[in-house]
Chains A and B, each alone.
Chain A
Amino acid sequence: MPVTLNINGSVQSVNLPPDVPLLWALRDGLGMTGTKFGCGVAACGACTVMIDGEAVRSCQVALGDATGQITTIEGLGQPDNLAPIQAAWIKHQVAQCGYCQSGQIMQAAALLAANPAPSDQDIDDAMQGNLCRCGTYPRIRAAILEAADMMKAG
């Protein structure tokens, strides 16, 4: 029995058991590979998506429980239509390998939606669940501050 999801404003149907995590429904069921698998135990943040505006680890949300409005990196913005946070990421040349960056960006977008002017401490608190093995953290911080400025300027 297919499960129906609301992803990036459109209704999608996935033919997988309801206990399969949302991460794998996105990646394997729908071919939406922007959301990444890193650990499977909510220890790295690579799979972060937003559900009803809140950042969640999609490896921990069963497909059957994913009833809200899901936003993935694909829904945030595309290369020809960037969200401010993505424009800031590009401006600061944040990514190295880039694998964790979908999760970093979704986490940062959720932070800025809730707190348009985050302090360094706010950034520490919000971003510490997202690992980056390349060590892009200083540029992540700079890009978040830049995006906050861009959004304030409108």
Chain B
Amino acid sequence: MANWKKITRRSFMVLGAAVVGGAAFGVYKVTEVPPNPLIPTPGSVPLNPWVIINADGVTVIAPRAEMGQGISTTLAALVAEELDVDWAQVRVLHGPPAQAYFNAGFAERMSNEPDFKLASQPKSHNVVLEAVPKIFLLQITGGSTGAIGGYEQMRLAGASAREALKAAAAKRLGVTSDQLKTEGGRVIGARSFAYAELAEEAASLVPSDVQLRDPSIWRYIGKAMPRLDMAAKSTGTAQFGIDTWLPGMKFATVRMNPKRGGTMRSFDPKPALAVAGVERVIDLGTGIAVVANNTWSAMQGAALVAVDWGPADYPADTAAMLDTIAKAFADEPNSRLRDDGDVEVDLAKGDVIEAEYRIPFLAHAAMEPLNATAWLKPDGTLEVWCGNQAPIMTRDACAAAVGLGGDKVTLHTPMMGGGFGGRTDPVPAVLAARVAKEFVGTPVKLTYSREEDLAQDYYRPAAIARLTGRIEGGKATALWGRTAVPSAARNALGRLMGFAPPGPDRGSVEGGFDQPYGLPNYRYDGHLSDLTVPLGFWRSVGNSMNAFFLESFIDEMAHAAAADPLTFRLDLMRETHAPSAAVLQKVREMSGWDSLKRPGFGRGVAFCYSFGTPVAQVLEVEQTPDGIRMTRAWIACDPGLAMDPSIIEAQMTGAMVYGLSAAAQGAITFADQQVVESNFYDYEPLRLHQVPAFEVAILQNNGEFGHIGGVGEPGTPPAAPALANALFDLTGKRARDLPLRAAFDFVT
């Protein structure tokens, strides 16, 4: 019996290479090395599932989808670092649905331990082993895992390709590989060869000794690399899913039951058919599709169809939904993932502080509305184009929807015009495939109107939290947080996988239970509500909820203790997790926190450790004659290893803007079981003139044990409490409900 504990995480095998420096191959032998899904074509030789050598450079196949987070650039840089190619020689594509592209980074998300504790100790390899079967089929982009999962996988892909190319050159020159070096896409020895000259031969070679570069000689990792998608995105030449354009294609839209889950009793297609350009109205069972010779005519037609919708099985309006959610407090908590000390004994000493907070449903509202293109061909194969976060699942759902085997379906994953968690469900692709089935031989592009995109989203849940705490001698002695919320994970996984995972529901308490506050008595409970509104994963998931609750309440406790809110946090954190304390200390310095506050301004601080990365934010607000303006923001984060500082800075600021938009203005509400908000005029993100100026610091103290944190989501959770705390500082008014526009007038 092997001693699994000795097997390190860095032992992923590429092309059968035994990896030096990481013991032997082991972990992934639990199943099998996945087959290479790439097929050689003239002038293009795949050396492994991630590296294709072309005549003029290298094409990296990114296993994660690009939705703006910059992952394709970082994954390509990891390969290029080891492969010794110039950056100008590198292209990147998203891979096909294939097991090879599973997301090893999800191993980091399988624990119910607080992340800061995992980062403070050597890797527990047993966690990985247990997780392997679960993660093996997950070709999913999400959970801020892309660079984490890719860090070793992509470097090994590059190194293994490099060694195969060197082996091919060594054979030709009659020398051994160690007498050769590589540079700028060439193997150099007595003669020098372009990689393309060696690729075909190299593809059949299995290098036996693959060593990763020492970080001291990295050229790309840790540097701000020019993004590979930047020129295309600055010239209108980037191809998003919605840009799929095929000769002879038809254009469609859908109108599905806005009372989600309800039936369609009847509909009258005649008004739609009277619209010029409309060809057909298709019955989809719980909604209709309108097909036309242009998208606008299809949308005009769809809006005119009179439909009698059957009801949903949830309450009629938001107030009744919140009443349903509140009822969950009466039940035993489903998730108690933190229970330090004895909160009940401490709180019984009296003089407690209590507060209740409420937050609304939220939509993803990516700039690119949901869409998909499908083409069912006369030979019985289906080709689908759809920006998506889960290719295998999307492909299989399309196949099932039109009665084909998965092997008959080709799925393309183009760039996404934003995702934020909202492109996990395969619904747009499935509906496009079903419409295409009515037009065999003709490609059909299906585009949601913005109204439909908002009405058919899978929402961030609404939630209520009740927190109780106690202060003694200016110090916090106890905190008991309770969150009542319908579980996004159970709701989504039930829908996507057909089962809801039993046991504690981390997503309902993350951002609350897992923070590095060293309170002697600290309990955090999740009470799951059975509300059936369709839910999904919204950038930072449960952290977006609980960070608002906890960080608002910590601020209230600091105020009750007559303490400075930043010092109050630091005092609770310093002993518990030094890298977390360091990001707080950093924003303190950057923002000039200890210098005199400017008159007419308010400042708020907030912190959240999420997705492996502690983030602290300070936000400054100003009372102006036109309303409250957000003036300046400071962010400090610590992902352990900063692979690309420019992309990290962009993610940190963008994620904070996303969180501030929701905190200030975002709410999805229901009336008559339907979402009320319909477009960007009533679900309005912040605009350019409303956002603060940003300063970002990236620290690297949290990587002591090889820990790497995510960067796509961790900037979102502290945004809402930083704003609420700044508004309290400015006005003395404590708002406990989001969005904050209900209590404050912002500059519009």
User: What is the bound-complex CA distance between A77 and B231, given in angstroms?
Assistant: 11
Instruction: Give the dominant DSSP class at B's interface.
Output: loop
CB <8 Å contact, B417 and A43: no
Give me 5 other A-B pairs in contact (C-beta within 8 A), A76-B236, A93-B230, A96-B651 excluded. A20-B296, A79-B231, A97-B68, A99-B417, A135-B653
B632 vs chain A, min Cβ distance (A):
11
User: What is the bound-complex CA distance between A17 and B226, given in angstroms?
Assistant: 43
Which of A29, A79, A138 contacts B691 (CB under 8 A)?
A138
Known contacts A20-B277, A74-B236, A133-B420; is A28 also within 8 Å of B242 by CB?
no
CB <8 Å contact, B689 and A98: no
CB <8 Å contact, A134 and B418: yes
CB <8 Å contact, B450 and A40: yes
Q: Which of A21-47 contact B (CB under 8 A)?
A: 21, 23-25, 27-29, 31, 33-41, 43-44, 46
Closest partner residue, chain A, to B451 (CB atom): A40
A interface residues, Cβ below 8 angstroms from B? 16-17, 19-21, 23-25, 27-29, 31, 33-41, 43-44, 46, 72-74, 76-79, 82, 86, 89-90, 93-102, 105, 123-125, 127-141
**Which chain A positions have C-beta within 8 A of B242?**
33, 36-37
**Which chain A positions have C-beta within 8 A of B571?**
none
CB <8 Å contact, B685 and A34: no
Instruction: Map CB proximity to A onto B285-310 as digits: 1 under 8 Å, 0 otherwise.
Output: 00000000111110100000000000
Whether B731 is near chain A, meaning CB under 8 Å from some CB there, is: no
CB <8 Å contact, A101 and B227: no
Closest partner residue, chain A, to B292 (CB atom): A28
B533 vs chain A, min Cβ distance (A):
22
**Which chain A positions have C-beta within 8 A of B646?**
93
Which of B232, B295, B680, B691 contacts A135 (CB under 8 A)?
B691
B interface residues, Cβ below 8 angstroms from A? 67-70, 224, 226-227, 229-240, 242-243, 245, 251, 276-277, 293-297, 299, 365-369, 415-420, 447, 449-450, 646, 650-651, 653-658, 661, 679-681, 684-691, 693-694
**What are 14 inter-chain pairs, A to B, with CB distance below 8 A?**
A24-B296, A25-B294, A28-B296, A44-B367, A78-B235, A82-B231, A93-B226, A93-B227, A95-B229, A99-B417, A132-B367, A135-B658, A137-B657, A139-B650
CB <8 Å contact, A90 and B694: no
A80 vs chain B, min Cβ distance (A):
9
**Which chain A positions have C-beta within 8 A of B231?**
79, 82, 90
Which of A19, A24, A95, A135 contacts B234 (CB under 8 A)?
A95
Closest partner residue, chain A, to B246 (CB atom): A31
Closest partner residue, chain B, to A19 (CB atom): B276
Closest partner residue, chain A, to B420 (CB atom): A133
User: What is the bound-complex CA distance between A129 and B297, given in angstroms?
Assistant: 25
**Which chain A positions have C-beta within 8 A of B420?**
133
User: What is the bound-complex CA distance between A140 and B415, given in angstroms?
Assistant: 21
B494 vs chain A, min Cβ distance (A):
28
CB <8 Å contact, A97 and B415: yes
B503 vs chain A, min Cβ distance (A):
34
Closest partner residue, chain B, to A83 (CB atom): B235
**Which chain B positions have C-beta within 8 A of A124?**
688-689
**Which chain A positions have C-beta within 8 A of B233?**
95, 98, 101
User: What is the bound-complex CA distance between A124 and B626, given in angstroms?
Assistant: 14
CB <8 Å contact, A38 and B450: yes
User: What is the bound-complex CA distance between A81 and B616, given in angstroms?
Assistant: 42
**Which chain B positions have C-beta within 8 A of A125?**
689
User: What is the bound-complex CA distance between A130 and B245, given in angstroms?
Assistant: 25
A121 vs chain B, min Cβ distance (A):
9
CB <8 Å contact, B295 and A27: yes
**Which chain B positions have C-beta within 8 A of A141?**
688
Of B236, B366, B646, which is in contact with the most chain A CB atoms at under 10 Å from its CB? B236
Which of A16, A96, A130, A138 contacts B293 (CB under 8 A)?
A16
